[in-house]
Amino acid sequence: MLKLFNKNYKFSKFGFARITPEIKNKKLFFDKVSFRNKKYLLIKDKKDAGALKVKKEDLQKNFTLYADLLLRSGYIKIAEELVEDKIYPYVVMHMLNDKNTKELIWHRDQYFHGKDFIGPKFKLYKLAIYLQDTNKDNGVTGFIPKFISPRFKNRYIDTIFAYLSSFLSIHPRLSIGEAVIFSGKVMHHRPRQINKNLREAIIFSCTNNPNNLPKLKDDEKEFLNVFLKSKIDYEIQ
């Protein structure tokens, strides 16, 4: 049975919530999952400020492991409590930042630019699990309080405003295995790593209904499909 410590999970005024699951032998577990000693399997993603990402072929080999981690350690259960809705992760990204990775600038994953809505057209949540103790010095995701973060319908003004108010931002201190969840509409960034600790994270794009992604749902190679199968295997509703 999952024990969730009866914590009062809730979203902060910064638009994110912390998820602290119970995992035995965390260090050992995340060492096994880690790619920090397999850098040859990573590719630099220039579009993501030079973050190092696990290649699709290797990522796919781990899909069952990721689904197990989410379902059996309580991440999904806690996330569903938080958003008061169902959570279906549909894309996985396993990534490392090192000293050469630049800041990923302040942005929202979903926003209006003029009349155009940019990003997925359905409910989007990001769930990021950090594989080591993580804080601002090694690239934890940062947030700006929602009440001073008006959503301008112009992406440039929106970003400039974020930088002007970024002195009020918060960067949570997370311990190994902790996760954050936030909506795609929330302003966030990833600071540059300035200490010696790599930042490794597994980041899931999630939605509230698998039918939002009919193609991924029925494709055996896709994470959403693997996740749905694991759910049935574990008889999780």
- Return the residues of window 105-134 that contact Fe ion according to CB under 5 A: 109
Q: How far is the CB of 188 from Fe ion (least distance, A)?
A: 6
Under rule CB under 5 A, how many of the chain's residues touch Fe ion?
A: 1
Question: Which of residues 77 and 188 has its CB atom nearest to Fe ion in the complex?
Answer: 188
Q: How far is the CB of 184 from Fe ion (least distance, A)?
A: 8
Question: Which of residues 92 and 226 has its CB atom nearest to Fe ion in the complex?
Answer: 92
What is the identity of the amino acid at 107?
Answer: H
Question: Which of residues 95 and 226 has its CB atom nearest to Fe ion in the complex?
Answer: 95
Q: Specify the stretch interacting with Fe ion by CB under 5 A; choose among 7-15, 81-89, 101-109, 173-181.
A: 101-109
Q: Give phi and psi for 202, each to the nearest 5.
A: -110, 120
Residue 204 CA to residue 76 CA, distance in Å, equals 11
Residue nearest to Fe ion (CB): 109
Question: Which of residues 109 and 200 has its CB atom nearest to Fe ion in the complex?
Answer: 109
Q: Specify the stretch interacting with Fe ion by CB under 5 A; choose among 72-80, 86-94, 102-110, 227-235.
A: 102-110
Q: Are 195 and 99 contacting, i.e. CB atoms less than 8 angstroms apart?
A: no
Q: How far is the CB of 234 from Fe ion (least distance, A)?
A: 29
Q: How far is the CB of 64 from Fe ion (least distance, A)?
A: 26
Is 200 a binding residue for Fe ion by CB under 5 A? The answer is no
Work out whether strand 88-97 and strand 51-54 pair parallel, antiparallel, or are unpaired: antiparallel
Q: Are 149 and 157 contacting, i.e. CB atoms less than 8 angstroms apart?
A: no
Structure tokens that stand for 44 in this block: 């630099």
Burial of residue 178, with CB atoms counted within 10 A of its CB: 0-12 exposed, 13-18 middle, 19 or more buried: buried
Q: Are 17 and 82 contacting, i.e. CB atoms less than 8 angstroms apart?
A: yes
Residue 54 CA to residue 182 CA, distance in Å, equals 23
For Fe ion, the binding residues (CB under 5 A) are 109
